[in-house]
Amino acid sequence: MNALEAQLDYCLGTATPELGRTIEVAPGVRWLRMKLPFALNHINLWLLRDRVAAEGGEPAREGWSIVDCGIDNAATRAAWEEVFTTGLDGLPVLRVLCTHMHPDHIGSANWLCERWNARLWISATDFGIARMASSASAGFGGPLSAAFMAVHGMAADPVAVDGVASRTNYYRNLVPAVPSSYRRLLDGGTFATGTGAARTEWKCHVGYGHSPEHMAFHSESTRVLISGDMVLPRISTNVSVVDVEPEADPLTLYLDSIERMRSIDAGVLVLPSHGLPFKGLHTRIDQLQAHHAERFAETLEACAEAPQSAFELVPVLFKRPLDLHQMTFAMGESLAHLHALWIRGKLERITGADGVIRFATI
């Protein structure tokens, strides 16, 4: 545990669910984990005890809502089947909620919805982009992404550019299909799980910057926040500029989003998508704001010494070896810091004779 983590309260300890098993973390809330084939090797998923009221002549049904899904592959499906056997008390899945459209969150949603005849609940923006990306041969990689990263300095590493260009089915391999219909989640909107004395109301909190329209879910009555990727305890959330929105400023959007989350009770139990559940939401927001302030200072210092491309800035912000997967995220984050300062008028953008875009202090 590092010094910043020591400021958080890991009130449930450090035990994590075994693959295919669950741990109850709050009344009617169970925690499970799925493996990921990346350096970030797991995702936390959640089960909410639920009940659908009688309607249209159909009887009421007891069951569970799933929050986030894992990527779609044979190992994830097998782990889910074990959860269905051991973790649902013999009850069905009634609906599938996704905090956002990244593959580790929505990858298995189509299979789960078909498996249980359940509806997908997600924001409209993330639903639309997930549908588009899962049906395209490019996106989150491929020639357009490679060309974008090349113009931001990766041209200095042709092997890396070729690696990005070759990832032509990256998203679709992890998210082969997205349900054809959905129920829309809106900022400030609510949904309820359970009924009667066991009824729990959840409020949606929109977050921008990490994904187009991320939704976190807060229960005031049980003091639980399912934070998705907006607030993570050990690592900072990836915030990237990508080729489809080349002049974006996602980092300002992200920082504004987590600042708005201060409206949530500081003592909630935070259930993040990666890492351990914790208490200390406002402390973690402070830490994340301070982290990016330090990165902004490092960026300005580097750009004052010499104009910097996003690729040239990567080793300034990331002081460890990176594989290709990590490098793509690092490039996006490097550019996000540069763009925030550029749009705030702290940096100017210059295209050099080599065609590479660099940023310099004004």
Structure confidence at residue 135 (pLDDT): 86
* Whole-angstrom distance, CA of residue 356 vs CA of residue 358: 6
Structure confidence at residue 334 (pLDDT): 98
Domains and CATH numbers, the chain: 5-300 (3.60.15.10)
Least confident stretch, 9-23, 195-209, 243-257: 195-209
- Cβ-contact 116, 272 below 8 angstroms: no
Structure confidence at residue 271 (pLDDT): 99
Structure token pair of residue 217? 């879910």
* Whole-angstrom distance, CA of residue 362 vs CA of residue 359: 9
Over 70: is that where the pLDDT of 163 sits?
Answer: yes
Average pLDDT of the chain, as a whole number: 96
Structure confidence at residue 137 (pLDDT): 60
Structure confidence at residue 138 (pLDDT): 54
Task: Tell me the mean pLDDT in the region 124-141.
Answer: 86
**Helix or strand run (H / E) with residue 216:** strand 214-219
- Cβ-contact 202, 193 below 8 angstroms: yes
Structure confidence at residue 240 (pLDDT): 97
**Helix or strand run (H / E) with residue 13:** none
What is the residue type of 329?
F
pLDDT tens column, 63-111: 999 999 999 999 999 999 999 999 999 999 999 999 999 999 999 999 9
Structure token pair of residue 197? 């004395």
Structure confidence at residue 338 (pLDDT): 98
Higher per-residue confidence, 168 vs 80: 80
Over 60: is that where the pLDDT of 33 sits?
Answer: yes
Q: What is the rounded radius of gyration, in angstroms, for the C-alpha atoms of the chain?
A: 21
Task: Tell me the mean pLDDT in the region 205-214.
Answer: 98
Structure confidence at residue 124 (pLDDT): 98
Structure token pair of residue 16? 């994590």
Indicate the pLDDT class of residue 143, thresholds 50, 70 and 90: very high
Task: Tell me the mean pLDDT in the region 299-306.
Answer: 98
Structure confidence at residue 139 (pLDDT): 61
* Whole-angstrom distance, CA of residue 217 vs CA of residue 12: 20
pLDDT tens column, 52-75: 887 788 888 999 999 999 999 999
pLDDT tens column, 285-297: 999 999 999 999 9
Share of the chain above pLDDT 90, in %: 91
Over 90: is that where the pLDDT of 224 sits?
Answer: yes
Task: Tell me the mean pLDDT in the region 235-252.
Answer: 96
Task: Tell me the mean pLDDT in the region 147-156.
Answer: 97
